[in-house]
Structure 1
Amino acid sequence: MVVVDDGILDSNRLDFFNSNGYLVLDSFAGPDEVQSMRLRMDQLLDQFDCSTRASIFSTTNQQQSTDDYFYESAENISFFFEEKAFDDEGNLKQPKKLSINKVGHALHEKDPVFKSFSSSKKVSGLLCSLGYRRPIAIQSMYIFKQPGIGGEVVPHQDNSFLYTNPPTCTGLWLALEDATLTNGCLWAIPGSHKRGLVRRFIRGENGVTFDKPFPSYDENDFVPIEVKSGSLVILHGDVIHRSSENKSSVSRHAYSLHVVDTDGCKWAEDNWIRRKVDPEPLYAS
């Protein structure tokens, strides 16, 4: 399956997405685009002084690990370490470039290379075919899934973290390396988006918390989404998805962009992201 240059989805692809809650588009980004994003991230990591302030990122302990650095990352390019990157004395066990979990959450605004892809004609065409009228890119992440220590991402729904009324979040997950069963590819429960939002991640005066307990899921319900570098995975905001630890010797780099609609939809004030300046829409229909 090869996506057309303008990103517009045909009826068969839309039907698959609406039925399953996810869709894979092979070769959405060409080798040159993938290489430019990877090289740019190498430059950003070279410039990052890991002796300065940074956080450890965890989805299994997210409430406790959320701090001001995390909140401020909504409008910055911020660096987050893997949980298993440090020894008992607090020293990195491997080089800096093999210790970072992710970089976020405003690459799509602050860096020209990632902004170019995020606001490209094909991304806009894709969103238009999904019915977006005034979309904004609200969050972006470069995810490393480091060899040997790449952390688990527990089952979740993107609308839990990026909520609008009505819900409108869509995740665009671009593989910058092959994602396989051994290095931590995505897994999703087909059709789970039809059951609605399970819980929300709410920011209050005393930090963040989930409004409901963590639900359990049958592992047999998940299907793997193995993709080649350059492939794009589209994720409905309510589809339940996850990824396992990367215990292999091969990394699994990806660029993730989350989009919400602002046409007739209200951004929830208790979302963890609170912007000082409203983002510009990618387009207005």
Structure 2
Amino acid sequence: MFSDTHKESFSRDGFVVVEEFLTNGQVQEIRQHIQQLLDDFDPQKHPLTTFPTTTDNKLLGSQYFLDSATRISYFLEPDSVSQAKLTVEPARAINKIGHGLHIQDPVFKQLTHGPDVREIADKLGFKDPRVLQSMVICKQPRIGGPVPMHQDSTFLFTNPPSACGFWIALEDCLVTNGCLHVVPKSHRSHPISRRMVRCSAERQPAAEEGVDFIDIEPVFSLYPLQGEKEEQQQQQESCPVEVKAGSLVLLHGQLLHMSPPNLSDKSRWIYTFHIIEGMHTYDSLNWLQMPADFPLTKL
């Protein structure tokens, strides 16, 4: 399934599309399961935690957000809540469900730990791949917020960086409903120079519990290019990545990518998770932390 051509494209461009990663039947089964998860959402038992999609320097995460690594938690579109009340029906308010689907949900656990995923990790050179931050992202019609330009290793940092994103389309993802946009080859020219970290009273006595961004010494990933890099170009433009349902988009952790708002009448459901190299240090500064007795999941 993951050919040498796929690997060459990924190494060159920082992303690659693997078409028909899932069959139509698999897509339909997963969509039905997601619909059940959406229907199970009870706003009366929820803190109405929204998921902000801005790049504010100070992003205060609630405890609900910080404790989501091993749970099935619901995060709402900012435009779905006004004065602590939903402005749309509950199932249409959800921005994403995460971040422990690969642990707690049998459907997504099976998908994430499937042989095709392991094959890709092996071919990319991962020695001890660990899974984290699994999410269903709904990109709701009309209110699906934009995701600004970012690099995944900013949020899931190892030293050296090793994050790789698996982004699986569960509907046709088009320009009209907020598909991915990437800056090809940016993984070769843009090192990781900042991190989103968890604030704590231990490290910052004056800080509120939550998350923040900090600058770090720029560092490049070692995979799969063994540290090869290029000079940054004056201007690098993003391009849309339109894909059909069932396609996998593989994203290098240094690749610049984003998605615009969904202003259409059609949703844009996807399932995504990330792997990191377990042999590299994943430290306590990372915002996403597992419970003390719960190590990062082996692929």
TM-score, normalization by structure 1: 0.90
1:93-148 deviations in whole A, cap 9, x for unaligned?
Answer: 22111110000000011000000100000111111111111111111000000000
Identity of aligned residues (%): 38
For the residue of structure 2 that corresponds to 1:208, the secondary structure is strand
- Give me the whole-angstrom Cα distance separating, in 2, the residues matched to 1:34 and 1:278: 30
Give the CA deviation at 1:152. 0.4
Task: Name the stretch that deviates more: 55-64 or 126-135.
Answer: 55-64
Matched, 1:269 2:272: no
1:1-285 equivalences in 2 (<5 Å):
4=1, 9-52=2-45, 53-60=47-54, 63-87=58-82, 89-195=83-189, 196-205=191-200, 206=207, 207-212=210-215, 221-263=237-279, 265-276=280-291, 277-282=294-299
Give the CA deviation at 1:163. 0.6
For the residue of structure 1 that corresponds to 2:67, the secondary structure is helix
The Cα RMSD (Å) is: 1.8
- Give me the whole-angstrom Cα distance separating, in 2, the residues matched to 1:107 and 1:10: 28
TM-score, normalization by structure 2: 0.86
- Number of matched residues? 270
Give the CA deviation at 1:68. 0.3
- Give me the whole-angstrom Cα distance separating, in 2, the residues matched to 1:183 and 1:97: 18
Where does the alignment leave 5 or more consecutive residues of structure 1 unmatched? none
Give the CA deviation at 1:280. 3.4
Verify the 8 A CA contact 1:132 1:261 in the aligned structure 2.
Answer: yes
Give the CA deviation at 1:218. 8.8
- Give me the whole-angstrom Cα distance separating, in 2, the residues matched to 1:66 and 1:249: 30
CA shift in 2, pair 1:61/1:21, >3 Å: closer
- Give me the whole-angstrom Cα distance separating, in 2, the residues matched to 1:57 and 1:219: 30
Give the CA deviation at 1:65. 4.5
1:136-174 deviations in whole A, cap 9, x for unaligned?
Answer: 111100000000000000000000000111111000000
CA shift in 2, pair 1:180/1:65, >3 Å: farther
